[in-house]
């Protein structure tokens, strides 16, 4: 288990909460023990699920939020999710401080990777300047990286 090249699809683990200090100290082996192979590939090895294949691509709840599947940190409100047709869940803003960015040249182009600020789990990429929403941002997120929670949070949202 835990080979980043392994493409085996398996069921998802139930929701979890990992305190910030523990999430930052967790080793590769610790993540392998906690996550399914699919979750490990996406969150820790930066894999991308196939377009239009994720559980949340065509899901548009009117309340609640989406949290990190790795550590449970709240990331995006359901209200920030929008339909853009890209094949992955899209959000126009994140909870303040929940997402961090990192330059990514891995696909032969300059992109901006988004990661969970608590556990450094790979979420996807953020794109600017597409004029799809008032924030002018599209957080393109792997469904495998997130989990929906059906209750609202009172947290500030912001552009990344």
Which residues are catalytically annotated? 140
- The DSSP string of 40-106 is HHHHTT---PPTT-STTTT---SS-EEEETTT--EEEEGGGEE--SSSS-EES-EETTTEEEEEE-T
Tokens of residue 37, six digits: 């192979």
Going from the C-alpha of 69 to that of each of 19, 108, 130, the distances in angstroms are 13, 28, 27
Half-sphere exposure of 23 (CA within 13 A, CB side): 20
Residue 127 dihedral angles phi and psi, to the nearest 5°: -120, 135
């Amino acid at each position: 288990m835990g080979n980043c090249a392994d493409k085996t699809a398996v069921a998802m683990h139930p929701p979890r909460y990992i305190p910030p200090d523990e999430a930052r100290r967790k080793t590769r082996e610790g993540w392998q023990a906690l996550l399914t192979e699919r979750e490990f590939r996406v969150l820790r090895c930066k894999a991308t699920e196939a377009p239009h294949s994720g559980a949340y691509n065509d899901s548009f709840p009117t309340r609640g939020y989406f949290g990190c599947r790795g550590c449970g940190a709240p990331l995006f409100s359901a209200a920030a999710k929008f339909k853009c047709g890209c094949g992955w869940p899209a959000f126009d803003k994140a909870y303040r401080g929940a997402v961090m960015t990192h330059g990514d040249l891995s696909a032969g182009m300059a992109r901006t990777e988004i990661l969970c600020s608590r556990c450094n789990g790979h979420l996807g990429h953020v794109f600017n300047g597409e004029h799809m929403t008032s924030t002018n941002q599209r957080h393109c997120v792997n469904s495998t990286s997130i989990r929906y929670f059906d209750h609202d949070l009172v947290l500030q949202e912001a552009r990344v």
